Amino acid sequence: MVILRRIRTWVVLGFAGMGLSPILGCGDDTGLDKRYPVSGTVTYNGKNVEKGQIAFIPVDKGKLREASGTITDGYYSLTTATANDGALPGDYGVKITSLEVDDSAVKDTVTKYGGGGRQHEIAKATMKGKLLIPAKYQLPETSGLKAPVKAETNKFNFELTD
């Protein structure tokens, strides 16, 4: 009787361990190859870019996926599929945007009518936004910024000028 209980316990533990193995494995369920950490700084005329977006656009769009991140106080890290998972190894062109947007009209509308469905107001506010860095950095074709991501931890610092 005691032996049967021990066998049952080991069998249950064995099946539980098998059930956890996909969760504890080194891959994820995105279906993508391994991504590598990518982070760095963005400055404009020697000062940290306070806020903005950065995107790494694959040179070979057939093999890679875009990775992007938010710039906060000059620092960023990239996401491809899951938060801060980095980028796939390969060559990328880089685009950076930084806008000062007056979203007071959006906030007023949300306060008055509630949230949701305010894409029109958001788009109008964004279109009127003031660029905080030169427009050339908004496209990888005109930015002149490149990033060769390697199968290791990557750090790219971008020093933007006029």
Could you tell me if residue 17 is inside a domain?
A: no
CATH number, domain of 64, equals 2.60.40.1120
pLDDT digits (tens, 9 = 90+) for 30-82: 899 999 999 999 999 999 999 999 999 999 988 899 999 999 999 999 999 99
The whole-chain average pLDDT of the chain stands at 85
Is the pLDDT reported for residue 84 higher than 90? yes
Higher pLDDT pick, 107 / 162: 162
* Strands of 31-120, DSSP E: 38-44, 47-48, 51-58, 67-72, 75-77, 90-97, 99-100
Could you tell me if residue 9 is inside a domain?
A: no
* Strands of 6-50, DSSP E: 38-44, 47-48
Could you tell me if residue 106 is inside a domain?
A: no
Could you tell me if residue 117 is inside a domain?
A: no
Could you tell me if residue 63 is inside a domain?
A: yes
Is the pLDDT reported for residue 18 higher than 70? no
What percentage of the chain exceeds 70 in pLDDT?
83
What percentage of the chain exceeds 90 in pLDDT?
61
Is the pLDDT reported for residue 3 higher than 70? no
Q: Which amino acid is at 52?
A: G
Confidence at residue 71, expressed as pLDDT on a 0 to 100 scale:
98
Q: In angstroms, rounded to a whole number, what is the distance separating the alpha carbons of residues 56 and 96?
A: 9
Classify strands 154-155 and 38-44 as parallel, antiparallel or unpaired.
parallel
User: How many structural domains comprise the chain?
Assistant: 1
Please, what is the end-to-end C-alpha distance for the chain in angstroms? 82
Could you tell me if residue 110 is inside a domain?
A: no
Is the pLDDT reported for residue 6 higher than 50? no
Nearest one of 60, 85, 33 to 140, comparing CA atoms: 60
Could you tell me if residue 155 is inside a domain?
A: yes
Could you tell me if residue 114 is inside a domain?
A: no
Q: Which domain holds residue 52?
A: 35-98+133-160
Q: Which of 25-34, 57-66, 80-89, 119-128 has the highest mean pLDDT?
A: 80-89
Is the pLDDT reported for residue 117 higher than 80? no
pTM of the model: 0.76
Alpha-carbon distance values, 6 to 12, 14, 15, 27 (Å)? 10, 12, 14, 33
Is the pLDDT reported for residue 10 higher than 70? no
Q: In angstroms, rounded to a whole number, what is the distance separating the alpha carbons of residues 104 and 134?
A: 24
